[in-house]
Structure 1
Amino acid sequence: MSANILLVKNMVCHRCLLAVENVLANASVPFQKVTVGEIYLEQPLSDQQYVSLKSGLAAIGLELIDNRTSGLVEKVKQLVIKKARGEVNEKESKLNLSAYLSQNLYHEYTYLSSLFSSVEGRTVENYFIQQRIEKVKELLVYNEMTLAAIAFEMNYSSVAHLSSQFKQITGLTPSHFKKVGSVKRKLIDRL
């Protein structure tokens, strides 16, 4: 990995990008761009800039990734979140999870899955299901779609499959969750 690209753990949304750009500005670190999980620097960091950036990121709940293994696991997480939330192109949405990850990370899925499990203590599939359920919770809280429409939107084979998986993960039926609302939602980076 280039010395001019830094990986950042727990970046999951547009607000994270803005917060990281603010930290970079406060630390006087010149950068080209910030994407989810990555900072593209104009030049390598001095030791002082590195310490300042690391503490600035820690203050907002983010951290620099210093090794290749953690970096690869973080990239798996970012791709899983995108796929689970339906933020991929049509071609990628048709791929199963293993093919999608292998294609984007240029590693065999068995290697990625084993690495992810050893670092995170859970399977990639479990993480994917949890991310999908969080998106379903979000859609239920908005109260703009029926459960059938949500099942279709999230590519579930049926409403029954969605309901079963939802109850398995949350302990609640979707309709009961709707009644208790956003109290049961979790932040994406806390999954």
Structure 2
Amino acid sequence: MKHKIYIKNMVCNRCKSTVINELNSLGYDLDSLELGQVILTTDAVIDYTNIQKVLGEHGFEIITDDIQVLIEKIKITLMQKLENQEVSNLSVFLPKTFSKPYSALSKIFSKNEGITIEKYLINLKIEKVKEYIQLAQLNFSEVAYSLNYKSSSHLARQFKNVTGMSMSKFRDLQKWNRKTLDQIV
């Protein structure tokens, strides 16, 4: 029998690896795993309390509420789109992805997270900018282009609005005050 478990804060390949290792150590067979969810194959009763305890030690949380599952899926979709440099018009691709009107998705997200989907995406982008600055592989114009900004000045204004400092100042400080993706909200 297959059991789908939704997991909050699973945002990267290292997270997936950790979940696999922990569930295997508990004796569960995984049918499939993707960001935010795992499917277990077992005829035995699943000890959700023990799974939550073990995964909770790594900052993960089992989600059972349908609205929280939807919000986590929206976040993961935005992270994946950003990573693949595919972020375009939110009001077009989110309704296609979730088969719900954008206004409904936006209201659910804002009500539960205290931030709009757009602001969440901006915060994701700013963390990506910080990563690019830290790696020092791209100049500011190339960073703006890679994140689909219309201009580097637009990115610069947004960066300053979110962080309170310019990208140059952030680079010069070399104090990489970055948030992990699961802490953005």
Report the TM-score, using the length of structure 2 for normalisation: 0.93
Instruction: Give, in whole Å, the separation in 2 of the partners of 1:51 and 1:20.
Output: 15
**Equivalent pair of 2:134/2:176 in contact (CA under 8 Å):** no
Range that drifts further, 176-185 or 108-117: 176-185
1:1-191 correspondence runs (5 A): 4-43=3-42, 46-47=45-46, 49-85=47-83, 87=84, 93=86, 95-191=88-184
**Equivalent pair of 1:4/1:40 in contact (CA under 8 Å):** yes
1:106-141: CA deviation from partner (whole Å, max 9, x where unpaired): 111111100001110110000000000100110011
**Equivalent pair of 1:9/1:65 in contact (CA under 8 Å):** yes
Runs of 4 or more consecutive aligned structure 1 residues displaced over 2 Å after TM superposition: none
Instruction: Give, in whole Å, the separation in 2 of the partners of 1:94 and 1:131.
Output: 11
Which runs of 5 or more structure 2 residues have no equivalent in the other structure? none
Instruction: Give, in whole Å, the separation in 2 of the partners of 1:110 and 1:143.
Output: 38
Secondary structure, aligned partner of 2:39: strand
Instruction: Give, in whole Å, the separation in 2 of the partners of 1:153 and 1:71.
Output: 29
Counterpart AA for 2:52: K
Q: CA RMSD in A?
A: 1.7
Distance 1:45 1:12, change over 3 A: farther
Give aligned-pair identity as a percent: 32
Counterpart AA for 2:70: L
Report the TM-score, using the length of structure 1 for normalisation: 0.91
